[in-house]
Amino acid sequence: MSKSKKNRSPSILERLEFAVIRAILGAVHLMPYRRRIAAMGWVMQRVIAPVAGYTRRVRENLALVVPEVPENERNALVGQISNNIGRMLGELFSPDDLVKLAHDVPLAGPGLPAIEEAMENGRPVIFVSGHFGNYDVMRAALIKRGFNVGALYRRMNNPLFHDYYLNNISTIGTPLFERGRSGFGQMLRHLKKGGALAALIDVRAGEGVPLTFFGKPAWTALGMAELALRYDALFVPVFAIRQADGISYKAHVDVPIPHGDPAEMVQAYNDKLESQVRQNMAQWFWFHRRWKVLKHMDQPQDMTLE
């Protein structure tokens, strides 16, 4: 992306859009943290998701991949999913509170000894997760434990919102690498030095391959597995799981996925993520068009991530 595009002046519509976002966030920030997060869950569930069409998309996704779940249970899940996503956004835009919360989250799971050994030996680690629970809780928890975790991010279309968003995720932890040539180069240098990288690889990727997720073909990028092979990095699934109180979390570090064929490595990750989602159905980002079929199956197109 050119410098001029990065520094372009926002349009009137973008200024209005950002003003509405800041008004909503400003109002909820007047509340104590617990009430603020609950309020954001309510707003997403009752207002934003139905108006934006997300509720319909969630229903369609659930009907597609878990038709065996009774309809009344799927209907209940629709509201719970939107509520969780609203809570996650509320946490993202409350970075100081989120960092305090994440620092108290214990790291656990069968993969913990392996990543601790990698850190001691200066071996790079690629932590792979998904839009599940709150992925930034895991990033903050790992940073607190001494892991030099960098993360990829994508530039927002609205330049005003982008600056606000970047400031918030920077508070949670750095370094951050913008998707694109410059950011990719910085990310590679970070890995070469033995750093760790956190990446979300559960969105539809036109440049990927049709792996399986919930028994259906889902186009999935292989880039993180290929980087793990190239730099001899551990390839470790991690998940931050929201607890029953709606506020606290459990951080789960799975065993590293063995190196091998990149598609098989990422399929193993898909299977790990699916297992976590099936245990906590309301905590995945069912808003995504995860199973949308590309128009030309032999020539993947539509390179944008959703």
Angle, vertex CA 121, rays to CA 117 and CA 127, nearest 5:
60
Q: What's residue 126's pLDDT? A: 98
Q: What's residue 175's pLDDT? A: 95
In a domain, 106, yes or no: yes
- Residues (pLDDT < 70) of the chain are 1-6, 294-306
In a domain, 235, yes or no: yes
Q: What's residue 292's pLDDT? A: 84
In a domain, 289, yes or no: no
In a domain, 217, yes or no: yes
In a domain, 71, yes or no: yes
Q: Which DSSP letter does residue 173 get?
A: -
In a domain, 45, yes or no: yes
Question: Cα separations (Å) of 199 from 65, 238, 304?
Answer: 24, 10, 16
306 in Cβ contact with 204 (< 8 Å): yes
Chain centroid offset of residue 103 CA: 19
In a domain, 300, yes or no: no
Domain that holds residue 108: 3-283
Q: What's residue 121's pLDDT? A: 96
The CATH number that applies at residue 212 is 3.40.1130
Q: What's residue 192's pLDDT? A: 95
Tell me the pLDDT tens digit for each residue of 139-176.
999 999 999 999 988 888 889 989 999 999 999 999 99
Listed in order, strand segments (DSSP E) in the chain are: 107-108, 125-129, 149-153, 176-178, 196-200, 209-213, 216-220, 234-242, 249-253
Q: What's residue 295's pLDDT? A: 43
If one counts the domains in the chain, the total is 1
Q: Please state, in angstroms and rounded to a whole number, the distance separating the CA atoms of residues 151 and 238.
A: 14
In a domain, 296, yes or no: no
